[in-house]
Amino acid sequence: MIQKPRGTMDILPDEVGVWQYIEKKAREVAAKYGYSEIRFPTFESTELFARGVGDTTDVVQKEMYTFTDREDRSYTLRPEGTACVVRSLIENGKCSDTMPLKLYYIINCFRYEKPQAGRSREFFQFGTEMFGAAAPQADATVIALADTFIREIGIKDVKLHINSIGCPNCRPKYHEALVKYFSDNSDKLCDTCKERLKTNPLRILDCKCPECKAIASDAPKTIDNLCVECQTHFDGLKLVLDNSGIEYEIDPHIVRGLDYYTRTVFEFICDSIGAQSTICGGGRYDGLMKQLGGPELPGIGFAMGITRLILAMKASGVDIGADDAPSVYIAPMGTAATVRAFELVEKFREAGIYAETDLVSRSLKAQMKYADKKSARYTVIIGDSELESGKAQLKDMRNSTQSEIELDKIVEHVLAAIKE
Ligand code: HAM
């Protein structure tokens, strides 16, 4: 038997309801904040991620699905969406549109990671990006959007962690402090981190090895090394969040796994879903647009892993009742009735009502069993005598009552009944 690749998933019809619910809510909440949808390719030039996400990150070094096409060009299945959105805006000349530009996306992403609960190789993100807004209120708006969405889909027990990781002005001084600290402890670092000490010491803070994690926990903190502008920005964000009642915790250990971040970084953590507890991660990336060849345009956004959202909704006891029962089942007996039943179900569908009839030549008894199994709200049996009189018995399956109705008026009748 051919099986799906490790770390991918099938979303079966009885599971898809919650996905559709999340996607619908994501669109609704994004619209309330003035975000428009953007779609972009599933694969991009490898260079986009190497330059955008950073070639010393785990994502680029270990996790990308990279391939060469028939003409020897190197492409990569998108491991995230931010670099793709930036590329698209530059390429399509959108960087001089009225600011701020607010965009959202619902995409599949690919990372070669060790699969576990809440972590897969193909995964799905709801992400947003805002461009052209440098003020701390923009950061607060993006956080408020994420917070609103998480609450609206019923997730409880979630904590917002924020941090500031500074900017190119304050980084050199911080790097110096980091290099000094890690050089003093370099014998305990993993081989990759020994290399990172030379190339990008900030990445050591994001290493997953327990030994490196232990050393990193006592490393100098970005938050103690901010320049005046970054400190003022961070204070401004805290003020707006405090004033609007959005609760947060300052977590100096958030560094994020991607290189493009500057200043604000944040994560929403849900402890009840196991080790992969970050349901949302994001932050500001004021240098990315320029770095990828565009104008200097600040950016800020987040992405949420949809499988993690579903785990968190389950842990919060959210139940999306599936509403996939037909309103009407028409059971025909005989050829003429089958033809009429086809016409009637189409009329129901035109009126926006989910109706079904027999497509597999079941006996009347088997049809009624099928209607019952599908939890049809109303059933109607039509045979030669009903066709002749133009009337039939409409049975309400909830209380087993019957009423005689005219076949020509069946749609209006059911419409009125289900609205009651
Ligand atoms: P990220 O932290 O790499 O950030 O991913 C965002 C979210 O995607 C994570 O918090 C998690 O919920 C989900 N996620 C990541 N990897 C996996 C996986 N292997 N399996 C399941 N879920 C996963 C970004 O991707 C940034 N582009 C976010 C951003 C947008 N920052 C600014 N704008």
DSSP assignments along 119-132, one per residue = B-SEEEEEEEEEES
Q: What is the pLDDT of residue 255?
A: 87
Of the candidates 230, 227, 289, 278, the one whose C-alpha atom is nearest the C-alpha of residue 254 is 278
Q: Which single residue is written with the structure tokens 């492409």? A: 75
CA–CA distances in Å: residue 85 to residues 44, 90, 98, 206, 266:
11, 9, 17, 24, 20
Query: Is 41 domain-assigned?
Result: yes
Q: What is the CATH number of the domain that holds 30?
A: 3.30.930.10
Range of the domain at 123: 16-170+226-315
Q: Is the CB–ligand 1 distance for residue 128 below 6 Å?
A: no
305 lines ligand 1 (CB under 6 A): yes
- Domain assignment of residue 187, yes or no: no
CATH number of the domain residue 386 falls in = 3.40.50.800
Q: Considering 315, 349, 376, which residue would you say is the last residue of a domain?
A: 315
**pTM of the model as a whole:** 0.93
Q: Quote the pLDDT of residue 390.
A: 97
End residue of a domain, out of 294, 315, 336: 315
Closest atom, ligand 1, to C-alpha of 121: 19
Tokens 């995964």 belong to: 123
Q: Could you tell me if 42 and 88 lie in one domain?
A: yes
Nearest ligand 1 atom, CA 258: 3
Give the pLDDT confidence score for residue 322 in this predicted structure. 72
Shared domain for 263 and 377, answered yes or no, is: no
| pLDDT, position 206 | 84
Mean pLDDT of successive 10-residue segments in the chain (420 residues)?
98 95 98 98 98 93 97 98 98 96 98 97 98 98 98 97 96 93 93 90 88 93 96 98 97 92 98 95 98 98 98 95 88 97 97 97 97 96 97 95 96 89
Q: From 252, 282, 315, give the residue that closes a domain.
A: 315
**What is the 3-state composition of the chain as percent helix, strand, coil, each rounded to the nearest 5?**
45, 20, 35
Q: Is the CB of 57 under 6 A from ligand 1?
A: no
Phi, psi values for residue 18, rounded to 5°: -70, -35
The pLDDT assigned to 113 comes to 97
Does 98 fall in a domain?
Answer: yes
Give residue 192's Cα distance to chain centre. 31
Q: Provide CB contacts within 8 A for 42, sequence distance 6+.
A: 77, 78, 107, 108
For ligand 1, say whether the CB of 254 is within 6 Å of any of its atoms: no
pLDDT at 401: 94
> What is the distance between the alpha carbons of residues 261 and 269, in angstroms, rounded to a whole number?
19
Cα–Cα distance, 130 to 146 (Å, whole number): 13
* Structural domain contains residue 188: no
Q: Do 110 and 141 fall within a single domain?
A: yes
Is the minimum distance from the CB of 298 to ligand 1 under 6 angstroms? Answer: no
CA of 340 to the centre of ligand 1 (A): 53
**SS3 label, residue 109:** strand
Domain contains 308: yes
Question: Does residue 281's CB lie within 6 angstroms of at least one atom of ligand 1?
Answer: yes
Distance 260 CA to ligand 1 centre (A): 14
Domain total of the chain: 2
pLDDT of residue 203: 87
Residue 33, pLDDT score: 98
